[in-house]
Every structure is written in structure tokens, then in C-alpha cells.
Amino acid sequence: MDLDAFAELLTPRGQRALAEAVELVGTDPVAAATRLRRTYDAALTSAALTQAGLRERARAKFGEDARRMYFTPHGLEQSTRTEVAEHRARRLTRAGADTAPRGWDAPSHGPDTPQHRPDMPPHGPNTPPHGPASPSLGRGTPPHRPDATPHGPDAPSHGPDAPSHGPDAPSHGPDATPHGPDATPHGPDATPHGPASPSRGQNTPPGGPDAPLRGLGVAEVPPRRLRVVDACCGIGGDFLALARAGCTVVAVDTDPLTVAVARANAEALGLGDRVTVSVGDAAEVRPEEYDVLFADPARRTGRGRTFDPMAYSPPWPVVLDLASRASRACVKVAPGIPYEFIPAGAEAEWVSYKGEVKEAALWTGQETAGRRATLLPGGHTLTATGAEAPVGPAGRYVYEPDGAAIRAHLVGEVSEIVNGRLLDPMIAYITGDDPIDTPWASRYEIEDILPFSGKKLRAALRERQVGNVTIKKRGSAVDIERLRTDLRLNGEKSATIILTRILDKPSVIICDTSPPA
């Protein structure tokens, strides 16, 4: 779908084609295209069918709003789930526009940064990587992370706080692997700089949608309304939540089609009076002119998704520069961002939605700094206290911390909640003697712990009449699907088995053998 085809999709004729395409979702694609081609040309037919399919996929992220919104494939892939965007908007609006400005320095090794946890041993369960930061951030050479391979920040690791399968892998599920500082902001009544004019309308940039960005501003901003600049807006998932929370948003993206889609979304949801969308380079945004900077740099290249912040668009040094000049900032990043890229003085927050880690965000200008995990939809939050998990023998239960707590290196804090201890100092499985309910961990009752052997495991499960297993692993190189095939189970009961290391020995924990629900 190109810009011309999308523009036609917004016409009355295009809307009729889209409505017909929506009715055909789920039918044979060839038959659907043939039917639409009887009335519409090939370009409009393709655009309508593409958009109808994207709307159906988008319902998981946007709910009923997806029926009225517009998308691009990449825009939908990177867009923020509504519940997460609303959580961030609530944080921003609760903090208010009068938060004292704070700069965002390059990474350092001060006492408040994740790099230094004096209460934790080197390479321990909650220890963030040590070493100097990236040369592009002005601090020497990125360290070798003890929990990462040379193949990237999200490769399998050897610490309990590191994921086994990349930044977006779910922590739960049947086969899931647990995974200018001195700038003064303008007040609410200040006149923004830049060439925008009320006569052009909130969604029409000077010179048309493709005009170069020379300065962004919002005319006639209501008093006390937070003014936010969204420096890499994509299809608008985040600015929609900000606008609904009462903010006035100026949004920028480099791609004209994406800008057209984002502008159409603001209009479709009745937020066009609060949002201005323009084609422009994020590097040219002047964050000093706004109360808040929001940035969601693109994390895809021509070869697919990237986990290297230096390959983001805009690249990490540009993002850091924008944030350093903002009174307050929120930057969305991949959950697997290497700790050495987290600036000193920033709060890093990992968000889990229904047990699955969705994303991370870096906050500046807040009253707190350090590491935070948040669980949605419940809104539970956990911050670093310096708790260090002890290591000890297996108890009656094993606890699997939520992925957000693992990402945020808060396994010690979760261990404290359940009065537990680690089975292995390098693996994020906690054991305890008491059945403590907490949203921060899933609990399984231990039936047996065996040295790992496929033959012995198969015999133990057959003896228990287990025919269905949920397999979890952390710190194990065993191929789950191959193991499932080799077990050749046949029984009426179900069990959860955990493949892990206990004091560096490959082990399997058999849990919860019971009849199927």
C-alpha cells in the first residue's frame, strides 16, 4: 500500500471498499480479491484487503479501536498495546507539568546506577553487567556481559535475571522459556516556537505533509495542558493514549505514509484537535519547547528486528541527545536493552501484560531512578531495594518470577516476598517452604527432583501416569520439542516439568502431577 492508495482509501469510495473488505476477512483471499475487483480497481482492492487484515490483527493490541484505525505492517508490529500506552500516559499526567527538570547523562558507574549493586556478588543472580559504556555514549568500550553471548544482547544467558529466548519471549505458557540538563521548560502558557499556524489546522504542517521539519509547535494550547512531542510516532498508538489523557501532542515520523496513517487515526478516534502529525526528522525536534519528550525509535532494519540500540532509527546517540535536552522524557526500548545503554539518573521500567513481557521504557525527570517492574492489567509495581536472594536446598515449592521482575534484576526482591531462596545462584528459580500467593511469581508444588536423563525422566512420568506435560526451562540446553517427542507419554495425568541447573548440575523438577482440568 502506497501513499496514493491510502489516500484513496480515505475517500467515500475507499471507505465503501474497506467496509466490504472487512466483511470478507477470513474468507478465501483469492475469492475476496476477485469479488472486490468487480467494483474497484486493483490498487484500491489491495489497499482495502490489506487494511482489513491489519485491523483484524490489531484487535489484540487495540481492542475495539482497531475497527476504526489504520495501520501499516511495520507500524502495527512496533505499536504499543493500548493498556501499556495508557499506563505510561497515566504516569506522565500524574507527575504533572511542573516536575523539576533533570538531565539525562551518559551512562556512568555512580552509586545509583544499575551497574553498581554493592550488596550483590559479581555475576550473582541480580547483578547487572559491569564495565564501561559504549564509546558512542562517551564512556569507552561496551563491556562483555556475563549473561550474553557475542551474538547480541538477547542471546541465551547464564544468570537468573536474563531471558533465554530474546526480549519479546513470553515468560509463561506451556512451552515458554522464563524468560540540556540545564534547560528550563516552557510553562503551559508559553507560546511555542516554530512555523505552525492555527489557520492551517492541527493536522496540516506548513508546506503540506511532506514539508521539512524546521521547528515544531502547537498553537493556542489550553492552559495547564501537558505539551508532549512524540519524536518517532509510528501509527500513533502512544500519542492516542496521551491525547486521551488530556495532553496536546506534536508527533513526527520520517515516513510520509506512516504520517498519513497516524493522522487518520487521530481523526478517526476524535482526537485531531489535540494532535498534530508531521513528516520530519526526530533529530530536528526541539524538546526544550515541550513539557515532555516521548520517543519510540524504530527497532527494525532491512534484515528484520534489531536488538542493538545503535541500530535504532534514530540511533541511540540521537535519542540520548534529545532526552538530555528535555525537561522530562520517556523512551520506549526493547526489553532486552543491554544495561550499559541505560543512562545514569534514568529509571528503567519493564512492563509485563498478563504474564508476558511486552516492553521497557526509560524515564527521566522523575522523582525516582533505578529499576522498576510493572504488571498489567493489575498495576502492581516493584522497585529495587537491594535485596539479595540466598541460595539453599529445595523446599516444597518452586517459584518462577514474572519476566518483568527478571528483566529488571529484581529476583532478590521477589525471593524476599515469598521468603524463598535460589536453587542455583545463577538461575532465576526460587524455592520456598510456604505457599505464598503473589502476582510476582507462579508457584508449583515440587513432587521430585532428578538429575537430568531423558530415560529416567520418561520412566518417572510413566510411573506417575502422566500423558501431558508443560515443559519449562532455564539454564538448560535441552531441545524442548525433541524431548517432548522422545518422552512418548501416555497417561491420564498432567505435570509441569522444569529443566534447569541446580548447583551447576543439569536437573529436572517434576511438579504438580494431577488429573487434567
Instruction: Give residue-wise pLDDT tens across range 226-261.
Output: 999 999 999 999 999 999 999 999 999 999 999 999
Residue 194 above 60 pLDDT?
Answer: no
Specify the pLDDT at position 340.
Answer: 93
Label residue 222 by pLDDT band (50, 70, 90). Answer: very low
Residue 401 above 60 pLDDT?
Answer: yes
Residue 49 above 60 pLDDT?
Answer: yes
Instruction: Report pLDDT digits (tens) over 353-397.
Output: 999 999 999 999 877 779 999 999 999 999 999 999 999 999 999
C-alpha count within 13 angstroms, C-beta hemisphere, residue 305: 15
Tell me the torsion sign for CA atoms 451, 452, 456, 459: positive
Q: What are the extents of the domains in the chain?
A: 3-68, 82-104+182-382, 397-514
Specify the pLDDT at position 96.
Answer: 58
Mode of pairing for the β-strands spanning 300-301 and 304-305: antiparallel
Residue 190 above 80 pLDDT?
Answer: no
Residue 335 above 60 pLDDT?
Answer: yes
Q: Considering the entire predicted model, what is its pTM?
A: 0.74
Name the residue with cell 511486552: 358
Specify the pLDDT at position 225.
Answer: 85
Question: What separation in angstroms does the CA of 496 have from each of 153, 448, 501?
Answer: 29, 11, 16
Specify the pLDDT at position 110.
Answer: 35
Specify the pLDDT at position 160.
Answer: 54
CATH class of 82-104+182-382: alpha beta
Label residue 301 by pLDDT band (50, 70, 90). Answer: low
pLDDT above 90 coverage of the chain, percent:
67
Specify the pLDDT at position 198.
Answer: 34
Question: 172: which residues sit within 8 A by CB, 6+ positions away?
Answer: 178, 355, 356, 400, 403, 442
Range 17-26 contact pairs with CB under 8 angstroms and sequence separation of 24 or more: 17/44, 17/45, 17/47, 17/48, 18/48, 18/51, 18/52, 20/48, 21/45, 21/48, 21/49, 21/51, 21/52, 22/52, 22/55, 22/67, 24/49, 24/52, 25/52, 25/53, 25/55, 25/56, 26/56
